[in-house]
Structure 1
């Protein structure tokens, strides 16, 4: 399954450039998520002290949000499209790989070609969904480690205050537990 796509010279460009693009766009979305998180802090701090700010400050914050949100929407659509194309190319590589085995079967099995197509489709869809979610979750976790580390000192529970970066360790444990 993996060799038909990643080790075949015909599909190597799609395999490796697709993975590189998906990782790069996930990294970009993660940086935008961090910027949105910073914007939330600034915006809600402004809302909390509204008497010290003007309507122009509000509009400025809205412009900042648009400059973050618009590229995020475009990158999310691009990521989804690229992931679908990449998965389709992988399906195509696996189908051509298994086709040679299917032709050699001496016994005629009704619907076997459709079964091959459906099984490959399910496998590739599962890999696409799990891969993009795990990649996004891992990047988000690592991007927010400095934020969580800084917030760990403000935890109201004394036993957690004694552990340096307690929120990081809790988030890591929950992430690994969720992955398992």
Structure 2
């Protein structure tokens, strides 16, 4: 599944994780401090500002902070590109694998686009804060904000949205090719060993359908996981700073960094609840694919052989399909009760948390929107398992089916259930 597409998969993914962590830690501990001397931003007119004179007024301090932030952002882009080039160049050069260019370069591009979308979310979060503050001024003091001011503020977000849409469309086009190349690599690997795996139950389906579903689902889960990690890195500091506006929680009272505390606690509660409620689903999904494959296989044999696919046999096989589906429906019933109940309550958690601060008038409308958006971003990141649980269940069932192929190819023992199906 991985070896056919990625160069030395275990080492590749481990090195990616370690390299990413090292680069992030290096940035926060010392690399960003070298921006003033190493950044190439000055070539494009972006300079690190000179230190403020003592006693500078508020306007000068605001201008300094804006210039400093822009310069650091430009320096961070350069640093990230350098980190990418070093990692990708090493694996493309020394990976020694047929699909290395697609797997390494493609994965790097997908990670970069994921990071880009997180940055767009940060920009939009800041924009919404300013926009809703403008609306509050317009509503509280009619005539103070002109129509030109209102539409002018909306126009500032146009470029961000247009670029984001363009990147998203092009990324979807690229990802489609990336997934198909991964499927091609797996197909070539399995078909080259067809004589050894053809006796596995549903072998044709596993090569024709499961390879595509595995690549597509794993890509989606991987991107969502990276997005969750990058969103945490981007929004957790924002939520941390915004927690200064919320010092008191209902029923609990004063607590430091209240917003971060609530986001983490609520996400942990949901993850535990859904893990317990959905613990049986992977096995049932796996068994469901088996009974469906057995039923489909008998029908295919019946097309060319009059002795196969008789009504009694088909009725028995379909009864197995029916029983397993009914078990799935029942398990998904209480799983979805907990899932949708948790998510429905969750959308009101930010308002419950902000209640005392709103009543006390400690927030502007714009700050409230920034808090809610940042809270939701952090909460959704911590809820990765909750949002992806049903997809993970499907992936696990496909993984088990393809793992049987690999066991035969590597001459490893099959599971008892696989062996029983082969003997039939």
Give TM-score scaled by structure 1 length.
0.86
Whole-Å separation in 2 of the counterparts to 1:160 and 1:140 = 28
CA distance in 2, matches of 1:142, 1:52: 38
State how 1:44-63 maps to structure 2 within 5 Å. Answer: 44-50=132-138, 51-63=143-155
Equivalent residues in 2 for 1:61-100 (5 A)? 61-100=153-192
1:145 aligned residue (236, 251, 254)? 236
- Please state how far the C-alpha of 1:106 moved relative to its aligned partner: 7.2
Identify the range of structure 1 (13-22 vs 54-63) with the bigger mean alpha-carbon deviation: 54-63
Match of 2:193 in 1: 101
Q: Structure 1's 144 and 134: CA in aligned 2 closer, same or farther, altered over 3 A?
A: same
Cα distance change of structure 1 residues 172 and 24 upon mapping to structure 2, 3 Å threshold: farther
CA-CA distance at 1:141 after TM superposition: 1.9
Structure 2 gaps of 5+ residues are 8-95, 268-380, 387-424
Assess if the C-alpha contact under 8 Å between 1:153 and 1:161 holds in 2.
no
Matches within 5 A, 1:165-180: 165-172=257-264, 174=267, 175-176=381-382, 178-179=384-385
Give 1 or 2 for the bigger CA radius of gyration: 2
| Count of equivalent residues | 178
Once the two structures are TM-superposed, the CA of residue 170 in structure 1 deviates from its matched residue by 3.9
Relative to structure 1, the CA distance from residue 36 to residue 118 in structure 2 (aligned partners, 3 Å threshold; closer, same or farther) is same
Deviations 1:84-122 (A, max 9, x none): 221111111111111111144575x79633431211122
Name the structure 2 match of 1:29.
117
Equivalent pair of 1:30/1:136 in contact (CA under 8 Å): yes
**1:6 touches 1:12 (CA, 8 Å); kept in 2?**
yes
- What's the TM-score, normalizing by structure 2? 0.39
1:123: Cα distance to partner? 1.1
Q: What's 1:15 paired with?
A: 103
Q: Does the CA contact (< 8 Å) of 1:160 and 1:166 recur in 2?
A: no
1:129-157 Cα distance to aligned partner (Å, 9 max, x none): 21121122221222111210012222231
For the pair 1:136 / 2:227, whether they are aligned, the reply is yes
Indicate yes or no: 2:209 matched with 1:118. yes
- Structure 1: runs of 5 or more not aligned: none
Look up the match of 1:6: 6
* Closer, same or farther: CA 39–4 of 1 in aligned 2, 3 Å: same
Work out which structure has the larger RCO, using CA pairs closer than 8 Å and 6 or more positions apart in sequence. 1
